Amino acid sequence: MRNSYASQKTPQDLSDSLDSLLSYVKNSLCKNTILPNKHGILIPFTPQILSLSPDFASYTLYLKWNDSGSVFPYDLDASWQIQILRKETMETDTLVTYNSKLTGKDTVLSWNWTSDMPLECTSHYVKIRCYINELLFAGRKEWSEWSPIKTVPGNDTVPNSAVVFPQDKVVLVGSNVTFCCLYNEGESIKFMKYGSKDYPLLHLSKWSSAIKVENVSASIPSGSNVLCSLQPDNIAGAVLFVGYAPDIPENLSCETRTFINITCSWNPGRPTELYRQRQTKYILFERLSREKVACGVVEMSKKHRCDFPVHVNQKIYNFTLSASNPIGQTESSLSIDINQRVHLETPDKFTVSTNSSTNAYLSWYIPGNLIQIRLLCQIEISNSNSGRQLQNVLVTGAENSNYRASVDALTPYTTYTFRVRCSASEHFWRWSKWSVERKLTTLEAPPARGPDIWRERSPVRGTLKIFWKPLLLSEANGKILAHEVSCYLQETMLKAHEVTVPLNSTELKLGGNDCLISVVAKNRAGSSPPSTITSVDIPSDNVKTEQAIPTGNGIYLSWHSDPNVTCGYTVKWCCSTGSEPCNVDWETFPSNTTNVLIKSALFQPGVRYNFSLYGCKHNGYQLLQNIVGYMKELPPKVAPNFTVEETSSDSILVKWEDIPVEDCRGFLKGYMLYFAKGKRGTSKPSYFEEGPPEVTVKNITDLTIKSLRILDLQGKTSYRLDLQAYTTGGMSPLKSLYVVTKENSVGLIIAILIPVAVAVVLAVVTSILCYRKREWIKETFYPDIPNPENSKALQFQKNICEGNTALKTLEMNPCTPNSVEVVEARSIVPKIEDTEIVSQVADSELPEDGSDTETENHVVVSYCPPIIEEEISSPPVDEPVGSSQVIYIDIQSMYQPQVKAEEEPEINLLSTAGYKPQMQLSINAMKMESQSPTEEDLDKTAGYRPQANTNAWKLSSPDSPISIESNNENGSFGSPCSINSRQFLIPPKDDEDSPTPNNTGWSFTNFFHSKPND
Amino acid sequence: MKEGGHWDKGRQVGGADLSVIDHPPQVEWQGLDRTISLDSVDGVPDATVERWEELTAAERLSANLQAYRVFQALLGEVLEKQRTHLTPLDTDFHASIQSMLLQVTALAYQLEELLALLRHSEPPWEAAGPEDRDHRSFFEMKLRGLKVLQELAHWTVRSVRDLHQVTKHSQGSNTAYGGQAQE
């Protein structure tokens, strides 16, 4: 506009126009216009507000004013500044600029503004000013004066009861909401709460305060409360509902069921959290008919529905579904051809009927005006035997009508279940729901065929037993009531009688005749075709028994083809259940069959079945073969019974018995015999724990063998024997026996006799050798004792034997025999031999003996070398001094004399008897004189005195009869000195006249000494 | 969402459910704190009375009967508001109010019977029930519902005392009457 204006005007024109404008401004436009100087200042007129109207519900102010455009002859751009003030203090809340174009005529401009708080909360003030944006004007352009203020008074200006704004407002979740509380003079505000939370107060005016709640969350169905508590005791409040705008309706779908209504359904989407008056309202609008329907929906349902009426002659419907609530509005559209959206109602009043054995008639009702469509209906026929069949029928639509169909090719006397559903045939949309189910049983028909029959000669002569199998339900065509059995001889009926169910066998007395037997099954509808069989049996010889092959699910039989068999083979068997007599069963096969798999629900694993194979020949039936078999072989049920017949030291004879057939549970293949060393009581035989090396296994596969001798066993040994039978199905349980082999007596005898004989022979040889070499032995081990008189070794000298510790017994000391006096006192005490010096002390040391020491002469037997009592220091006074200085000790007994001074008289007596060794006590007459015999001395004199330094020896035996008081003088028996001296003291052999020592002690020497005497 | 008061089928006095006043103060009733002042709500019979001891049996029974007649109307109003506006989905809460309304009706009937038995005149039906303004804000509806239930609870307590008092008096008068008869 401006460009065209500029292009059309010449500079002169422009100058004229400006002048004109100025003159207008100056003269006519506004009296308020200020034009201060000649350069020109463009100050537009002061605008006037025509109206300011509030909409309290939407917090909106509507402002109207006149732009006075008519004062300008041409278009001009104008700007308007609008200022909104509020609160008591008239604070500027908003300042906006509104641009418009002055078009040369007066135009009322309008502008609206929405407040963030209810307009009731406080007064709102509006003023406006103008600015003319004339580009060609070179002078200064300024805003006009502000218009007079227009006011929208708040409710806080007049005293009223306390109240909170906004009341009952509905807002979107997440909004910011300002609440104000108005109160009266004399009241003051204590607090304001939203929900349970206090908010800071914003002072609006003397009687108005506000709070600002940001980002409000969804409220409970009864709304969130705003509470304003006032001083003194008063409250005001409001409820805020916070929710969501409605979602766009999802999955909008429309269809008709009856051609009366179109039902549209949809999913409302997210719940709005708003209820009742605030809940979403749905309106279904059809654009072609321009008809709308308000939809009443159940708030909480997940699927909403709405019905729209079908219009006659209208096929296409363009639907718009709008959803709205106080927060927002959405919509969804759908266009449909009603004939393509037919979803029929569920067929009702469904009935089925029949008047034959193969047909059924069905009828059902479907509501609705279906004249304009054809119906495709689906009939479901289900039967426990044949399963489920579907049959489609086409029917012409009608208005609220019954529809009919028939079903044929049904099986007689069978119960069927029918149901039906329908849809529009031309434009399939959806099937209706299935109708209820109806059952129907077709009528009976005569049995389709005659029963399978078999016959058997009974043991009773002349009687034929006839068996037949019940017909299958599908063959019986009804309930079989009876079977008619007849016997024909060349088309002449000999006998006939009827057998009612459930019997499936009968007997005919033929009396030796043969005939053709006919069996007919009968039901209410009629009789079956007859089944015939001849009664003739062809004799057979040499019938073999074969074994069948178990297959797990049946029994496999095979046979050799017989060219004479013309009318098939029949396999007959008998299944026994428990104690009842077995049920005869049979199967017939064509003549070219040579193997069959017989299956029966009655077959059980591990049970033996006997089959008979008959061949049907032109003149009768002949038994061809017997077959035994198992459906499945199992391990034998029991262990074979076995016993030990005979045992020897190295063998066992074992015998066993056959397992009964019913316990075999399979074809017996053999026996396993295990034997190993083992004793009763051990938990397991060793061969199970220690493996094969310990056990011997014998597999007996020859079933005719019933005994076995086990060889190469050890005598007197316990063996464990285990026997088990086995079939292809597995091993039977074990049966165990413990056997102890017999002892090997010859070996034992030999084992005892040989050592004894060897011992005897050795003893004899030794005796002979010893006897022959006795001289040598004696000389070697017991040489002659030299004569003590000639022995220098025994010429002890006191000074030598006592003083020199290094002195050896065998040293030939220069003892002069002259100094030894041998006193022979044998005559005085001739009976005492091998004596010992007995003293009181010795007696007192052996009290256990209990013998009378006073009167009895002790003969103490002990190993003791001869001792030379060096100091027999105190002979009794009455002892004849010097009469006897030498003590003789039995050299053979090697006793140690225990010398005591008090016993000196007796000693003397004793010492005079028996053997006198070549010892000399150096008589110390001087001592006897000088020393009075004290007890100490006496003690000292007692005991053994070796011929050497006694200090070097130690006690060798605790039995030594040594006085405790005698300290160092006491010696030990068995000193080397004594032993060596004994060798010298053995008397020579030829001293047989010497007194034989009567020694109670045992001495090895006695053996040799006494031997010659023996 | 269940947001109604918790209506225990617990202690009952004079046929009314007292569970309302048994609630601790922190329990909220549709978002309202129990400590809130309900003085601004009018039209609900007040259980408090001056010189309670001096009331006659007839006055006591009449006051009770009149109060429960008003409560019948008030409870019906509360139930309608709750169903229509405030708690449309909380059917359990509505059933509780309905149950209480039946009990209040039964109690009023029994009070009428008692008045007749004691040969006192029945107070007239007050034609104008509680003021039912066409439009109340939701906040006012909530406050009113709370006030009705609270005052009903107070009235049940008062009724127990009143009936005790009436029983005591009637026993006393019966005794006196019996004594006189014996004389």
Strands A642-647 and B16-17: unpaired
Pull the structure tokens for residue A943. Answer: 């005991």
Chain A residue numbers with beta carbons less than 8 Å from the beta carbon of B143 are 237
Is A484 exposed, middle or buried, given 0-12, 13-18 or 19+ CB atoms closer than 10 A? middle
pLDDT tier at A370, thresholds 50, 70, 90: very high
CA distance A383 to A628: 40
Contact B160/A at CB under 8 A: no
The DSSP H or E segment spanning A151 is strand A150-152
Q: Chain A contacts of B142, Cβ < 8 Å?
A: 222, 225, 239
Chain B, nearest residue to A162 by Cα: B40
Q: How many other CB atoms are there within 10 angstroms of residue A730's CB atom?
A: 13
Q: Who contacts B89 (Cβ-Cβ below 8 Å, separation ≥6)?
A: A221, A275, A299, A300, B1
pLDDT number for residue A613: 92
- Looking at every residue in chain A, the average pLDDT score rounds to 77
Q: Which residue has the higher pLDDT, A545 or A138?
A: A545
Of A108-112, A431-435, A590-594, A809-813, the range with the lowest mean pLDDT is A809-813
Distance from CA of A239 to the nearest CA of B (A): 6
Examine the pLDDT at B90 and tell me if it is beyond 70.
yes
Q: How far is CA A74 from the centre of its chain?
A: 99
Of B85, B89, B139, the CB nearest to A300: B89
| pLDDT at residue B127 in the model | 58
The distance from CA A318 to its chain's CA centroid, rounded to whole angstroms, is 64
Interface residue of B38, B97, B139 to substitute, partner A, most A CBs within 10 Å = B139
Residue owning tokens 């002790």: A858
Evaluate if residue A339 carries a pLDDT over 70. yes
Q: Is the pLDDT of residue A159 over 80?
A: no
- Given a cut of 80, is residue A768 above it in pLDDT? yes
Q: Can you give the pLDDT at residue A447?
A: 93
Strand partners, A79: A99, A131
Which chain A residues are closer than 8 Å to B87 by Cβ?
Answer: 221-222
For testing the chain B interface, which of A182, A192, A222 should be mutated: the one with the most B CBs within 10 Å? A222
CB contact under 8 A, B137 and A168: yes
Nearest to A237 among B85, B86, B139 (CB): B139
* Pairwise pLDDT comparison (B77 vs A783), residue with the higher score: B77
Residues 6+ apart with CB under 8 A from A447: A471, A475, A476, A477, A478, A480, A521, A522, A523, A526, A527, A528
Across the interface, do A235 and B40 touch by the CB < 8 Å criterion? yes
Smallest CA–CA distance, residue A329 to chain B, in Å, is 22
Reported as a single tens digit per residue, the pLDDT across A890-940 is: 444 444 444 444 444 444 444 444 444 444 444 443 444 444 444 444 444
Phi, psi of B10 (to 5 degrees): -105, -120
pLDDT, position A797: 52
Residue A392 has pLDDT above 80, yes or no: yes
Query: Which of B40, B142, B143 is the closest to A222 by Cβ?
Result: B142
In this predicted structure, which of A711-720, A754-763, A899-908, B40-49 has the lowest mean pLDDT?
A899-908
H helices within A234-384, ranges in order? none
Closest approach of A213 to chain B, Cα-based (Å): 17
Q: Do A233 and B142 touch (CB under 8 A)?
A: no
Give the pLDDT of residue A969.
Answer: 41
At residue A865, the 3 state secondary structure works out as coil
Length of chain A measured in residues: 1014
Q: How far apart are CA A200 and CA A195, in angstroms?
A: 14
Q: Tell me if A237 and B40 make a contact (CB, 8 A cut-off).
A: no
The B residues from 92 to 121 touching A (CB cutoff 8 Å) are none
Is the pLDDT higher at A82 or at B34?
Answer: A82
Q: E-strand spans in A232-315?
A: 234-243, 250-256, 261-267, 281-286, 291-295, 304-309
Give the pLDDT score at A170: 94
CA-CA distance, A493 to A499, in Å (whole number)?
17
- Is the per-residue pLDDT at B120 higher than 90? no
**B84 vs A contacts (CB less than 8 Å):** 276
Asked if the Cβ–Cβ distance from B3 to A222 is below 8 Å, we say yes
Residues of chain B with Cβ-Cβ distance to A238 below 8 Å are: 137-139
* Nearest-angstrom CA–CA distance, A82 and A122: 19
More confident residue, A217 or B2: A217
pLDDT digits (tens, 9 = 90+) for A84-101: 998 878 888 889 999 998
* Residue among A463, A513, A502, A466 nearest A486 (CA): A466
Which residues of A make CB contacts under 8 Å with B?
164, 167-168, 195-196, 220-227, 233-235, 237-239, 275-277, 299-300
Is residue A810 pLDDT above 60, yes or no?
A: no
Q: State how far the alpha carbon of A218 is from the alpha carbons of A170, A194, A223, B91, in Å.
A: 10, 13, 9, 21
Q: Which of A248, A329, A240, A241 is nearest to A281 (CA)?
A: A329
pLDDT of B27 reads 55
Q: Which of A736, A723, A639 is nearest to A683 (CA)?
A: A736
Please tell me the distance in Å from B114's CA to the nearest CA on chain A.
Answer: 40
Cβ–Cβ < 8 Å for A331, A321: yes
Residue-wise burial string across A138-167, b where 16 or more C-beta atoms lie within 10 A, e elsewhere = ebebeebbebeebebebbbbeeeebbbbbb
Give the percent of chain A with pLDDT over 70.
71
Asked whether the beta carbons of residue B39 and residue A233 sit closer than 8 angstroms, the reply is yes
Name the phi and psi angles at A764, rounded to 5.
-65, -45
Per the CB < 8 A criterion, the answer to whether A718 and A677 are in contact is: yes
Query: Percentage of chain A surpassing pLDDT 90?
Result: 35
> In angstroms, rounded to a whole number, what is the distance separating the alpha carbons of residues A179 and A759?
136
Q: Please report the pLDDT score of residue A957 as a whole number.
A: 40
Q: How far is A259 from chain B (nearest CA, A)?
A: 35
| Interface touch B40/A234, C-beta < 8 Å | yes
Cα separations (Å) of B170 from A200, B114, B157, B158, B165? Answer: 60, 11, 20, 18, 8
pLDDT digits (tens, 9 = 90+) for A835-866: 444 444 444 444 444 444 443 444 444 444 44
Report pLDDT for A829: 44
- The A453-457 sheet, strands edge to edge: A453-457, A463-468, A505-509
Q: Give the CA distances from residue A649 to residues A191, A707, A748, A1007, in Å, rounded to whole numbers and listed in that order.
A: 119, 18, 12, 51
CA A866 to chain centre: 95
What per-residue confidence (pLDDT) applies to A683? 53
CA A479, A481, A485, A491 dihedral sign is negative
Task: For A464-502, write each residue's pLDDT tens digit.
Answer: 889 999 998 888 999 999 999 998 887 777 778 888 888
A827 CB neighbour count, 10 Å cutoff: 8
How much is the average pLDDT of B102-121?
90
Q: Does B177 touch chain A (CB under 8 A)?
A: no
The answer to whether the CB atoms of B90 and A196 lie below 8 A apart is no
- A195 chain-B contacts, CB cut-off 8 A: 31
pLDDT tens digits, A612-638: 999 998 888 999 999 999 989 999 988
Q: Number of CB pairs < 8 Å for A and B?
A: 68
* B30 contacts in chain A (CB < 8 Å): 220, 222, 225
Is the CB of A221 less than 8 angstroms away from the CB of B40? no
CB atoms within 10 A of CB A691: 9
Q: First vs last Cα of chain B: how many Å apart? A: 68
